[in-house]
Amino acid sequence: MQNVNTAQNETNLSIEKIIDLIRNFRNDLVKDLLKADSFEKYFTENLNKELSPVKKQFIRKELKELLILPVDLVHYAKLITHLRAINSASITDENKKFFYDEVETIFKKYDF
């Protein structure tokens, strides 16, 4: 019985590590975007729109809020499953799409 509990704890710990990895990667991306209005450049280059000062303030506020929010397990479920299946904690360029998709949901709110 103890072996079963140990195995379950290792599995939970593994998932916790993956979630921590995702949270840290997401937060690093957000922090980079918050530096010197990087999000404005990203917004302009990817959505081909200029931001008003008011929109910049709202986006900055939402990005800061994202830093303290827990990881959206539904959004990242596929990535969590993939990382667990390959038993790897490395984020590839292909996986980065999940992070940019989450940030872009904020940007798209202000893309009138």
What would the pLDDT profile of 87-99 be if each residue is shown by its tens digit? 888 888 889 999 9
Residue 4 has pLDDT above 80, yes or no: no
How far apart are the C-alpha atoms of 10 and 15, rounded to whole Å?
9
Q: Quick check: 25 and 91 in contact, CB under 8 A?
A: yes
Helix axes 2-34, 53-68, angle to 10 degrees: 160
How far apart are the C-alpha atoms of 105 and 112, rounded to whole Å?
13
pTM over 0.85: no
Look at 4-8, 35-39, 84-88 and tell me which has the smallest mean pLDDT: 4-8
How far apart are the C-alpha atoms of 36 and 58, rounded to whole Å?
15
Average pLDDT on 70-80 reads 95
Q: Is 28 left (phi over 0), alpha (psi -120 to 50) or beta?
A: alpha
